[in-house]
Structures are given as C-alpha cells and as structure tokens.
C-alpha cells in the first residue's frame, strides 16, 4: 500500500504547512526551527511517507566505495546483481551510475549523519547467498574491494522531499504535526506556570494522538488495494500484507 | 500621539488636578523618560492579563551591517574564534519571543535565536542543526549595545546585511543606532489604547504623590 503513496498525489504539502495551521486553528506560535525538529521527529512516528521501493544496480569503485542514490531514505538490502534481478524485479529501477545526485535529502540516514554517528550495521549484517556485507559512511557505502568494477544491487526505500531535503507531507500529517506542536506548547506553558495551559494538555494529547493515527493512513483506499487486502495470505511471517522491510514506512 | 504630546497631556492633567493645592513644576524631559519606563511595565502587565500580545509591538531594523568579531568580550582574553557579528539595542527579555525575526533582508531565511548559552546544543538538533543560528549576548558592551553573533553561516558567506524584528526594551534606543534614518519619532510606538493607559497611570501617580507630599500640617491633638 505504501508503495503507491507517491501515485496518490497526497504528499503535496511542504513540511512547514503545519505552521499556519497552528496559527489559524489554535492561535499559537512556535519557533520555526523548533517546529522542524518536532515535525521530522513526529513524521518518523506517523510514517506514511511518500515512499517508493527502488532498486539500483551500481558499479563498485576501485576502493570498494559506492555512491548511494540521492533519493535514498534507508537501505533494504544490498545483494549481487543476479539476486537483485531475481528478488527485486518488481521495484522501480533507479539509475545511479553516471548520475551524481546534487539534492540533499533529509532522510533517516541524514538524521543519523546529522547526529554525528556513523551507522555501521556491521560486516556481518546480512549473511546468505547473494547478500553483500557493507558499511555506511554518510552517503557512501563501502563493500569488499573484491567486488570492485562489478555491479551490485541496492534495494532501498526512496522518499519524496522538497528542495531543502525535508519530506513532503500530506494534509492530514500537517494537521497532526500542528496538534503535536500545540500539545508541546501547552506542556511548556504548564511547566512555566502559565494560566490554563495545564488544563489544555489533556485535550491536545487526545487530539494529537487521534490525528497522528489518522495521518498514518491514506485518505482513500482503491478497489485494487481492497482486493489485495482481502486476498491477504498467511505467509512465513503470518498474514503479512505487502510486508514493510524497514520501519521507516 | 507623539512622546512630547503624551508628556504634555500628563503635565496638563497634573497641573489641572493640583490646581489650588500645589504649584509644583516638573520637567517634560523627565516625564518622557517616565513614559518609556511606564510603557514597558504597562505592556508586560497588559500581556500578563491577556489583553494584548506583546509580540505585536516589534520594531524592524533593516540593513544591519555584519562584521566579524572575536566572540570574547574581554580584549585581554580572546577566544580566537571570529564570527559574523552585529549589535542591537537591548530587547525586552520579559517577552516570550523578543526577537520574532532575525534573518536575511528578503525575509526568506530566518536564524534561530538563542539568548543563553544553550546555543551549544544547536548542533544536536534533529532536523535543524545545519541551519544558521544567532546568539544575543546577555550584557551590553562598552557602547551600551548588545552583541549578536551568527553561527553556521558558511553557506551564506556573502551575507553582508541582516534584518531584525524585535520588541526592544526602550523603543527609542533604535534612534541611537547607525540606522536611525529609517525611523520616525512622529508617533509613539504603542497604540492609543496603551497610550491612554500610560497617560492615566502617570497622571494619577503624579497627582497622588504631590497631594501626599503637599499635605497641610494639622495640629497634633493626640486624638484619633
């Protein structure tokens, strides 16, 4: 279902669209940067990003380094080209070789990078035939130098972002973020002893929770999706429907 | 009303109110200072009562020139960290958000503003750590102005001028800045509603003070 989020045309709003909602619906103001931090954090909980599952076949450099696709949010798997063609043939193919991404994306990896960590799943991350061990360093991936010059498959989840690198969001997500901000403002106000703020926390906690739940599902379900849902099969991981491979979706 | 007109109105009230009781004389210059003092406290009181929103009393300074300066204010102990810098008159630190906008003159990029050393943790912010931010020094420098240092600006190296919207502690101090030509002294910065509050408050205070000070002595009869 997530796979088709991009096709829905729901993710049309800028991440800052919650700011005017906060003002018009609740009469509250918040610092722009505080809002951005809250929004990015909340969106990771809400999920329902405008994601698409991609696969890229990239050539490994002499030093074992691989430039990652510019629209990457998180990696689902790194495999040999052969396995990639077999296992991820239904994914959208994203051409990376010869293209240098200039966009700056605000993805999960960006956040990790931002916080000063180098995320290393370890050389033994995925063991099995066809899987390739890798290490991440910012937006570069390092694999065994034995693979230099060869093509490998990177199966990943891509995300729609704006020019600043923030994810584009839906109308419902903007409403949810505004309510979350309102709740945070009330909590801060109560801590500072502002009159009436404490009594409003409960209201905004309920409201933001409800809107968060609402924002995590699309506005409508197509007949095709309903058909798929009704045909859900019991598989190895029990009744999974289009099983997400990573938590970001 | 202008500041002079307000001072004149208070003077007239007080002189009329004390007519026949006292012939006190006082300077309108002092009255002007007191109006500004009272204005600041009135705004805070009215905001606390929920009658007005103090953040709507901002004043804008455009084209503030940025120059690099050592972050240390002590000439003997320099930090060797030169950062883009400019000065502003003190802001009203009682207001929730004394500076509502600090950023480029086209209004497209705003800086996060810190009033304390919490700017140290800016680099750990989840989504905005790479965005620019400003730190407003808590004490005035030798010129009576407050230093503002800008950080995270390498991306905007060509930035030479900055714009600011702030609630200043003394709104007339912006006249002392090099940007004074932008401002008019014609109208008092607060709306008529607040002007009336200030005039009433000061007139009442003056009349009460003078009445008490000029109370006629009565014979002590040892009776209540």
pLDDT digits (tens, 9 = 90+) for A77-93: 999 888 888 888 888 88
If pLDDT is split at 50, 70 and 90, which confidence band does A17 have? very high
Is pLDDT of A2 > 50? no
User: What's the pLDDT at A240?
Assistant: 47
φ, ψ (nearest 5 deg) of residue A92: -75, 130
Concatenated DSSP letters of chain A:
-GGGHHHHT---B-GGGHHHHHHHHH-----HHHHHHHHHHHHHHH---SEEEEEEEEEPPTTSEEEPPTTEEEEEEEEEHHHHHHHSTTSEE---TT---------HHHHHHHTT------TTSS-STTB---EEETTEEE--GGGTTSEEEEEEEEE-B-TTSPBPB-HHHHHHHHHHHHHHHHHHHHHTT-TTHHHHHHHHHHHHHHHHHHHTS-S---HHHHHHHHT----TTSS-SS--SSTT-
Helix (H, G, I), strand (E, B) or coil at B4: helix
pTM of the model: 0.70
Is pLDDT of A140 > 90? no
CA distance B136 to B126: 22
User: What's the pLDDT at A213?
Assistant: 92
Best residue of B102, B127, B129, B133 to probe chain A, by most A CBs closer than 10 Å: B127
User: What's the pLDDT at A111?
Assistant: 58
With CA atoms as reference, the chain B residue closest to A189 would be: B96
CA count, 13 A, side-chain hemisphere, A96 = 26
If pLDDT is split at 50, 70 and 90, which confidence band does A36 have? very high
User: What's the pLDDT at A20?
Assistant: 95
Q: What is the pLDDT of residues B45-74, one digit of tens each?
A: 888 887 888 878 888 899 899 988 887 776
With CA atoms as reference, the chain B residue closest to A28 would be: B53
If pLDDT is split at 50, 70 and 90, which confidence band does B166 have? very high
Smallest CA–CA distance, residue A166 to chain B, in Å, is: 9
User: What's the pLDDT at A30?
Assistant: 93
Q: Do A111 and B126 touch (CB under 8 A)?
A: yes
Over residues A130-138, the mean pLDDT reads: 86
Q: Do A39 and B127 touch (CB under 8 A)?
A: yes
Cβ atoms of B25 and B1 closer than 8 Å: no
User: What's the pLDDT at A23?
Assistant: 94
φ, ψ (nearest 5 deg) of residue B117: -75, 10
Chain B partners of A111 at a C-beta cutoff of 8 Å?
Answer: 126-127
Q: What is the pLDDT of residues B125-161, one digit of tens each?
A: 988 888 899 999 988 888 888 999 999 886 566 788 9
User: What's the pLDDT at A12?
Assistant: 83
Q: What is the ipTM of this complex?
A: 0.71
State the average pLDDT for chain B. 82
Which residue is listed with tokens 């007519």? B19
């Amino acid at each position: 279902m997530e796979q088709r989020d991009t096709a829905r045309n729901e993710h049309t709003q800028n991440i800052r669209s919650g700011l005017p909602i906060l003002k018009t619906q609740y009469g509250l103001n918040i610092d722009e940067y505080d809002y951005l931090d809250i929004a990015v954090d909340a969106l990771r909980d809400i999920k329902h990003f405008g994601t698409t599952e991609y696969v890229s076949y990239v050539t490994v450099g002499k030093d074992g380094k691989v430039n990652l696709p510019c629209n990457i949010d998180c990696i689902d798997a790194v495999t040999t080209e052969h396995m990639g063609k077999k296992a991820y043939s239904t994914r959208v193919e994203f051409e990376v070789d010869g293209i240098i991404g200039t966009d700056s994306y605000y993805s999960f990896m960006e956040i990790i990078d931002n916080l000063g960590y180098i995320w290393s799943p370890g050389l033994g991350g995925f063991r099995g035939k066809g899987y390739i061990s890798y290490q991440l360093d910012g937006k570069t991936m390092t694999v065994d130098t034995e693979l230099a010059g060869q093509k490998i498959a990177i199966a990943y989840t891509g995300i729609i972002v704006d020019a600043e690198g923030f994810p584009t969001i839906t109308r419902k997500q903007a409403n949810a973020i505004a309510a979350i901000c309102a709740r945070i403002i009330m909590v801060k106000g109560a801590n500072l002893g502002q009159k009436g703020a404490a009594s409003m926390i409960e209201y905004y906690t309920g409201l933001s929770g409800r809107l968060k739940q609402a924002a995590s599902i699309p506005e409508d379900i197509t007949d095709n999706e309903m058909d798929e849902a009704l045909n859900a099969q019991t598989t190895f991981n029990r009744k999974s429907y289009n099983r997400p491979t990573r938590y970001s979706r | 009303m202008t500041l002079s007109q307000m001072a004149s109105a208070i003077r007239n009230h007080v002189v009329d109110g004390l007519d026949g009781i006292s012939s006190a004389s006082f300077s309108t210059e002092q009255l002007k200072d007191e109006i500004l003092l009272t204005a600041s406290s009135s705004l805070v009181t009215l905001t606390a009562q929920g009658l007005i929103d103090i953040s709507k009393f901002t004043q804008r300074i455009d084209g503030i020139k940025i120059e690099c300066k050592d972050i240390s204010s002590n000439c003997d102990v320099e930090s060797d960290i030169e950062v883009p810098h400019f000065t502003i008159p003190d802001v009203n630190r009682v207001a929730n958000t004394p500076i509502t906008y600090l950023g480029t003159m086209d209004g497209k990029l705003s800086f996060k503003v810190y009033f304390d050393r919490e700017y140290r943790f800016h680099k750990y912010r989840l989504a905005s750590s790479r965005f620019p931010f400003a730190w407003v020094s808590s004490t005035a420098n030798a010129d009576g102005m407050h230093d503002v240092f800008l950080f995270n600006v390498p991306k905007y190296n060509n930035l030479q001028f900055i714009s600011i919207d702030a609630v200043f502690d003394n709104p007339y101090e912006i006249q002392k800045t090099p940007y004074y030509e932008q401002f008019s002294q014609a109208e008092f910065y607060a709306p008529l509603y607040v002007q009336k509050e200030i005039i009433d408050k000061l007139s009442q205070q003056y009349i009460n003070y003078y009445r008490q000070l000029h109370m006629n002595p009565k014979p002590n009869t040892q009776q209540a």
